[in-house]
Structure 1
Amino acid sequence: MPITVTLTEGVIPREKEGKVVKEITNAFLEHHGLGGNKVMTPNATAQLHIQPKRETFSGGDPVSGAWVEIKVPGFGLASREVQKGFFAEATEIIHRHSDGKLPRKNIWTNALHTVDGTWNMDGVAMTNEELGVEIAKG
C-alpha cells in the first residue's frame, strides 16, 4: 500500500523524518489488523518528499504543512472507524514529531482506491479476492 508523506522542509526535524514514515506505516497496518503480517508488512511501502516552503501551498499561498496520501485496494480504509482512527493517528504522529509546532490544521490526508485487478504484488496484478487469499497467508 504505497504511502506518500510530503513535508515542508523544516516542519519535522531531519532526524525524525524516517520515524514519521515508520510510525504512519505501522499505524496503517495496525488499524487494519495486519500488524506483523508477513505478506502485507513488506508491501506497505512509502515515499517521503521534502519540499521547500516556496513549493507548498494552501489556498494558493505559501504554507508549512504535511500531507499523507495512501493508495489502497477497495477493502483498504473501507470502514469509517478505520478511516477516522488511522488518519487521526497519522495526524498526531506528524504533530508530535514536529514538537507540536505544526498545527493540526496544516496536516492534510487522503486516500485513493485502486481499480480492482490492478494491485501488483510479486509481479502479479491481483484482484481484491486474490489479495485477500495472499494476505491470509501472512
Structure 2
Amino acid sequence: MPITLTLTENVLPAGQEAVAASKITEAFLKHHGLSGNTVMTPNVTTHVVLIAKGHSFSGGKPVEGAWVETKTPSFALADHAVQAEFFGEATQILHDLSGGTLSKDRIWSNGVHTVDGTWNMSGKALTNAAIGEAISAG
C-alpha cells in the first residue's frame, strides 16, 4: 500500500525523510491493527518526493509544505476514526521532525482507494478478499 510523502526541500532537516517514512509506515500499520503483520509490513511502501522551493503552491502562491497520500484497497482507511488518527499522527510526525518549523497548516493529506482486484503483491493481482486472507495468515 504505497504512501507518497512529498516535501518541499528543507522542510525537514537532512536525513529526516527516512525517519518520517519509517514512522508514518509504523503509524499506518498501528492504526489498522497490523503492527508486525508479516504480510502487510513489507507491503506498506513509502516513497519520498522532494520538490524544489518555488515549485509547490497553495492557493496559487508558492508554499513550503508537506503532503501525505495513501493508495489503499477500499477496506483500509475506511473508518473515519482510523482516518483521523492516522493522518493526525502523520501530521504530528512531520511537524515534530521539522523541529516545529513546519506548521500543521502546511501539511496536507489524502487517501485514494484502488479498484478491487488491482492491488498487486508478489506478482499477483489480488481482490480485497484475497488480501484479507493473506493478512489473516500473517
Q: Identify the residue that residue 73 of structure 1 maps to in structure 2.
A: 73
**Residue identity in the other structure for 1:60:** G
Q: TM-score normalized by structure 2?
A: 0.99
CA deviation profile, 1:104-136 (whole Å, cap 9, x unmatched) = 000000000000011101111111000000010
Q: Identify the residue that residue 104 of structure 2 maps to in structure 1.
A: 104
Q: Identify the residue that residue 128 of structure 1 maps to in structure 2.
A: 128
CA distance in 1, matches of 2:16, 2:129: 37
CA deviation profile, 1:71-112 (whole Å, cap 9, x unmatched) = 000100011110000000000000000100011000000000
- SS for the counterpart of 1:5 is strand
Runs of 4+ in structure 1 over 3 Å off: none
Tell me how many residue pairs correspond in the alignment.
Answer: 138
Using the TM superposition, give the Cα deviation of residue 46 of structure 1 relative to its aligned residue in structure 2, in angstroms: 0.8
Q: TM-score normalized by structure 1?
A: 0.99
Unaligned runs of at least 5 residues, structure 1: none
Q: Identify the residue that residue 114 of structure 1 maps to in structure 2.
A: 114
Q: Identify the residue that residue 2 of structure 1 maps to in structure 2.
A: 2
Unaligned runs of at least 5 residues, structure 2: none
Matched, 1:62 2:98: no
CA distance in 1, matches of 2:121, 2:15: 31
CA RMSD of aligned residues (A): 0.5
**Residue identity in the other structure for 1:89:** E
Q: Identify the residue that residue 26 of structure 1 maps to in structure 2.
A: 26
